[in-house]
A = this chain, B = another copy of it.
Amino acid sequence: MAGYVSDAVIRRLPAYFRYLWTLESKGVKQISSKDLGESMGLTPSQIRQDINSFGGFGRQGYGYEVTELKNHLQKVLGVNQEHRMVIIGAGRIGQALAAYEGFPMVGFRPIAMFDVAAGRDEPGNLPLYPMQELEERLPDLDVSIAILAIPPAPAQEVMDRLYRLGIRAFWNFATVDLKCPGDAVVVNEHLSDSLGVLSYRMQQLGI
């Protein structure tokens, strides 16, 4: 379907998908690489290069079919199916993720939470189980992704424990980079990186 896709392009794919999804919901049928570039902060030639690299194509002087490209990207990203997720850690980050409204669009659904602290408030919308019951309950939950919303110290150990239970995909908010075996994937989330980008741009503008 596509050749080598660089890491930088992979990181932009969800933004393309999100933007095309919005265009489609507004009834837009086609878009030029120029307009797409302006919205994405990229040059038209970068846009064409990106889209070629994941096997999408446009037509000279016409641009891209919004729905066609969106559907193609949906397959490339694997977001054309439901992904059931478990949230480990029912603290503030965990609870915020449990209630986050950006997920349904991309088919990701948190279905349960686990926490070491028994006295946690019920997050309201999801069942909350004690961490001791992880081994017993996880198989029945049929999840493919674990979100780690826990402190850095126990993070690697908890990840290994989930790996032994068959989880192969991790979204890690523990502010420490975790490593996983080659048959698993982890996306390490560092929210403060965005503040670095913001700060860089502030400095460029002399703010």
Contacts and interface: CB of A to CB of B under 8 A. Distances in A.
Interface in A3-24: 7-8, 10-11, 13-15, 17-18
A78 B202 contact: yes
A1 to B, nearest CB: 10
Given A144-B202, A207-B169, A193 B92 contact: no
Contacts of A14: 190, 192-197
B202 A185 contact: yes
Contact of A106 (B7, B8, B192): B192
Interface string A70-85: 0000001111000100
Interface stretch (A59-67, A93-101, A134-142): A93-101
A143 to B, nearest CB: 12
A8 to B, nearest CB: 4
Could you tell me the dominant secondary structure of chain A's interface residues?
helix
Contact of A200 (B13, B108, B190): B13
A117 B172 CA distance: 31
A127 B169 CA distance: 38
Q: Which of A95, A101, A184, A193 has the most CB of B within 10 A?
A: A193
Contacts of A191: 97, 100, 102, 189
Nearest to A102: B192
A141 B83 CA distance: 43
A120 B41 CA distance: 37
A25 interface: no
B78 A169 contact: no
A137 to B, nearest CB: 21
